[in-house]
């Protein structure tokens, strides 16, 4: 591995850690609906794809972005498993979520590669089914934006742990990009580092019901990552990674703004 690649991996670790830890800290202070939207804005995928482009080129990152919908389908199954498992405790929920993610990711890598269009179809079906299960079967209800909730204190140790964990995941994705095909690194880039830390902190600080309510919104808002991935796959080859990242993130934020009125109607 070259010195430049090693430097980019180290920078990815630092930038991703700071970005993701602060983004999730802000998201969890805003209630289950708005917090669920904010926490699922592009973060680890943003940094992963950007540094992939800087180390392997824009075309490589754009091709990796094509597998993002399939990766987000895997993440959605992770969220559903956590929401289900929280009925019996946080440890069981996290264990169920991680087992679900690794099993689904292994299946996604093992089966013959599918096109980005089919990846989107798979994601839509998985997302719709997961949300229906959370809403109609589990009857998870949204926590109010305002009300008697516990305050989320700012704890430097918590931010540091998130930064180390999220930074390590992004650095791993960028490192994998040096030797692995784009299809695989695209799935790795959406490992649910943010979702894992967010659900853990919310369950401990606000209670399992609040965490389950946020998880239900996160299932829906995960679609903004699809918007970001599609935008990257189009924009990176056209305008380069820096402008491509900025425009793709703006598209994701605009999509979340459109989701906000819908999120207020979620029970």
Quickly count: other Cβ atoms within 10 Å of residue 59's Cβ.
Answer: 13
Kindly state the average pLDDT of the residues 80-88: 93
Question: Tokens standing for 248?
Answer: 């793709």
Question: Tokens standing for 3?
Answer: 């010195």
> What pLDDT band is residue 169 in, cutting at 50, 70 and 90?
low
* 35-49 burial code (b ≥16 CB/10 A, e <16): bbbbbbbbbbbbbbb
Q: Where are the domains of the chain?
A: 3-263
What pTM, to 2 d.p., does this model score? 0.78
Lowest mean pLDDT among 11-20, 96-105, 184-193: 11-20
Q: Evaluate if residue 151 carries a pLDDT over 60.
A: no
> What pLDDT band is residue 173 in, cutting at 50, 70 and 90?
low
Q: What is the tens place of the pLDDT at every residue in 17-66?
A: 666 666 656 655 655 455 555 666 787 788 778 888 888 899 999 998 88
- Between 97 and 194, residue with greater pLDDT: 97
Which of 125-134, 141-150, 196-205 is the most confident on average? Answer: 125-134
Per DSSP, the residues of 2-62 read: -HHHHHHHHHHHHHHHHHHHHHHHHHTTS-HHHHHHHHTSSSHHHHHHHHHHHHH-HHHHH
Please tell me the predicted confidence (pLDDT) of residue 21: 65
Kindly state the average pLDDT of the residues 76-88: 93
**Spatial contact of 235 and 247, defined as CB atoms under 8 Å apart:** yes
Spatial separation of the C-alpha atoms in residues 162 and 164, rounded to whole Å: 5
Q: Quote the mean pLDDT of the chain.
A: 79
Spatial separation of the C-alpha atoms in residues 212 and 139, rounded to whole Å: 10
């Amino acid at each position: 591995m070259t010195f430049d690649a090693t430097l980019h991996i180290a920078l990815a670790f630092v930038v991703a850690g700071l970005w993701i830890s602060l983004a999730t800290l802000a998201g969890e202070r805003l209630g289950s609906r708005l917090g669920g939207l904010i926490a699922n804005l592009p973060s680890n995928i943003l940094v992963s794809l950007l540094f992939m482009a800087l180390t392997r080129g824009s075309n490589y990152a754009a091709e990796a972005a094509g597998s993002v919908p399939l990766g987000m389908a895997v993440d959605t199954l992770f969220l559903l498993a956590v929401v289900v498992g929280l009925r019996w405790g946080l440890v069981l929920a996290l264990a169920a979520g991680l087992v679900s993610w690794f099993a689904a990711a292994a299946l996604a890598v093992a089966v013959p590669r599918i096109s980005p269009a089919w990846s989107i179809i798979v994601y839509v079906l998985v997302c719709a089914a997961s949300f229906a299960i959370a809403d109609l079967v589990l009857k998870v209800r949204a926590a109010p934006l305002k009300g008697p909730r516990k305050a989320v204190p700012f704890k430097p140790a918590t931010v540091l742990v998130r930064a180390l964990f999220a930074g390590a995941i992004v650095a791993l994705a960028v490192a994998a990009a040096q030797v692995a095909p784009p299809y695989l690194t695209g799935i790795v880039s959406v490992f649910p580092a943010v979702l894992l830390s967010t659900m853990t902190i919310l369950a401990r600080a606000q209670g399992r019901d609040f965490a389950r309510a946020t998880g239900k919104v996160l299932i829906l808002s995960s679609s903004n990552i699809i918007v970001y991935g599609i935008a990257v796959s189009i924009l990176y080859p056209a305008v380069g990674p820096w402008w491509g990242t900025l425009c793709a993130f703006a598209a994701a934020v605009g999509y979340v703004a459109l989701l906000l009125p819908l999120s207020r109607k979620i029970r």
